Amino acid sequence: MARKIGSRYTAHQILGRGSAGTVWLGEGPEGPVAIKLLREDLASDQELVGRFVQERTALLGLEHPRVVAVRDLVVDGNDLALVMDLVRGTDLRSRLDRERRLAPAAAVAIVADVAEGLAAAHAAGVVHRDVKPENILLDMEGPLGPGGAHPALLTDFGVAKLIDTPRRTRTNRIIGTPDYLAPEIVEGLPPRAAVDIYALATVLYELLAGFTPFGGGHPGAVLRRHVTETVVPLPGIPDELWQLIVQCLAKAPASRLRASELAARLHELAPLVAHMPPLEVDEPGAEPSSEPYEDDPYPTLPDGPRRAAVPLVPGSSADSSRDTHTSMRVPGPDELSGGPLGTARAPRAAGQRRPGSARNRSSAVRRRRLALSVAGAALVVAVGVGGWFAVGGDEAEAPPQDSRQSAPETAP
């Protein structure tokens, strides 16, 4: 049933539900739009509403071909909504779910697009804070680029910052998606533009390898790896591309490239990967922690692209088993000190035996994982909705559809 959103918009059809609210296919004065209607309990939070209004100028002024534009912010009674461009396509997570990993040419082209969007955002003083495949949309109406990549756009600007209000997340807790969190966020420092570069480099690694460099297992262990461990080289990619990834995954924020520099370097490297097939590497097998988690009510989560989760916002239901946000206390310095057992999960060439396996012990030493004593972690889940996309990240209602499928057209 249609409902009015403010005086200018009508919401016709639900595209997805998530912890922060509901995304609708809507109609505005200039045609179809996507309307992200926040939950009523969020809309009734006066601190959040004030922050929402403060962000209005920055979000409305962010215009770039690689960014899903926010067209309006509506505050009307119990309604708090973001009105955005409607993108016909799918999200990058859905493509990864189908293909597991991409050809290097496609991966480089997609990440270069996103880096261009981030450069515009950072120049406007906007930090995304939640760059990940769920928040990268592929415009199926755009021209095919290198490796069969459709134009990529970054969405969900401002959502992480809105949720991360002092009343909803205490000062000693962090908000984000564990696999993509920069070390300085884990250490409790305020997020600046460099956190987006770290997250985007993690996405590039994932597109090439099929898994993230520090992911797998309990969220607390993932956070600790970001701070203490070094990324292990991916076999089969040009050294110039690998050095670029390493620089953008540097622990020190000042050592990372700026978004504009990253985009330019990726365009320069595109010819090196133009005809490369997808890499053939095996994901590292899960290793048990060296010590148990003390007083940990949450079991260790298995490796893999999907993990069970509970919602970030109290009272909301988990819509799928995909991670989006974790609310977790900041680990203390002693918990992040590292040690001789700390090591990132090492990718292997396809068919290579896992180090430490019974058949390979004579030639390798088992790598053991560090344990992290953490308080409980609350996860939010998300699934992309194929066909029409307005925002990525935390909005979902149906399983991802084939990217070639279009949503039904809306009457003008």
> Do 249 and 329 lie in a common domain?
yes
Considering the domain architecture, whether residues 66 and 128 belong to the same structural domain is answered as no
Q: How far is CA 410 from the centre of its chain?
A: 30
Residue 401: name the closest of 164, 34, 93, 126 by CA. 93
pLDDT at 38: 85
Please give the Cα distance from 191 to 195 (Å, whole number): 6
CATH number at residue 282: 1.10.510.10
Active site residue 130: yes
Q: pLDDT by residue (tens digit) across 336-381?
A: 544 433 445 556 555 554 443 333 333 333 333 323 333 333 322 2
**Distance separating the N- and C-terminal Cα atoms of the chain:** 16
46/52 Cα distance (integer angstroms) = 10
Which of 87, 110, 134 finishes a domain? Answer: 87
**55-99 tens-digit pLDDT:** 788 888 899 999 999 999 898 888 889 999 999 888 999 999 999
pLDDT of residue 156: 84
- Residue of 45, 97, 130, 164 marked catalytic: 130
Check whether residue 68 and residue 100 sit in a common domain. no
Mean of the per-residue pLDDT values for the chain?
Answer: 74
- The structural domain count of the chain equals 2
pLDDT of residue 388: 42
Q: Are residues 62 and 106 in the same domain?
A: no
395 lies in some domain: no
Q: Of 101-105, 294-298, 367-371, which range is least confident?
A: 367-371
Residues 105 and 80 in one domain: no
**Do 158 and 229 reside in the same domain of the chain?**
yes
Quote the pLDDT of residue 46: 81
Same domain, 24 and 148: no
Q: Is the same domain home to 71 and 151?
A: no
Query: Three-state DSSP class for 134?
Result: helix
- Do 187 and 312 share a domain, yes or no? yes
In a domain, 402, yes or no: no
How would residue 176 be classed by pLDDT, with cut points 50, 70 and 90? confident
Does 53 lie in the same domain as 127?
Answer: no
Residue 18 in any domain: the answer is yes
Q: Residue 355 domain-assigned?
A: no
Query: pLDDT tens, 244-287?
Result: 999 999 999 999 999 999 999 999 999 999 999 999 988 776 44
The first and second tokens of residue 268, run together, are: 């320069």
Q: Which residues pair with 290 in a beta bridge?
A: none
User: What's the CATH number where 36 sits?
Assistant: 3.30.200.20
The yes-or-no verdict on residue 9 having pLDDT over 60 is: yes
Residues 60 and 181 grouped into a single domain? no
- Could you tell me which residues come within 8 angstroms of residue 231 by beta carbon, excluding any fewer than 6 positions away? 205, 213, 214, 245, 246, 249, 344
180 and 243 housed in the same domain: yes
Domain stops at, among 27, 61, 87:
87
Name the more confident of 338 and 293.
338
Q: Which of 62, 87, 112 is the last residue of a domain?
A: 87
Q: Supply the range of the domain harboring residue 28.
A: 3-87
Q: Is residue 243 part of a domain?
A: yes
